[in-house]
Amino acid sequence: MDRWCGRIAAVTGAGSGIGLAIVKALFRYGVTVVGMDVNLCKFKDFAEKCGSSNLHALQTDVTKEDDVVKNFCWVNQNMGRLDILVNGAGVFTDRPLTEECTENMKRMLDVNVLGLAMCAREGIKIMREKCIDDAHIINICSMVGHWPPATSEEAFYTSTKHAVKALSEGLRQEFVQRKSCMRITQVSPGVVYTDLFNQLHRFKPERLYQHPHLKPEDIANAVIFALGAPPTVQVTEMIVLPVGQKMLGQM
Q: Which residues are catalytic?
A: 157
Q: What are phi and psi of 240, to 5 degrees?
A: -115, 110
Q: Residue 229 gets which letter from DSSP?
A: S
Q: What are phi and psi of 12, to 5 degrees?
A: -90, 155
Burial of 186 (0-12, 13-18, 19+ CB in 10 A): buried
Alpha-carbon distance 217 to 143, whole Å?
17
Q: What are phi and psi of 192, to 5 degrees?
A: -120, 140
Q: Strand, helix or coil at 185? A: strand
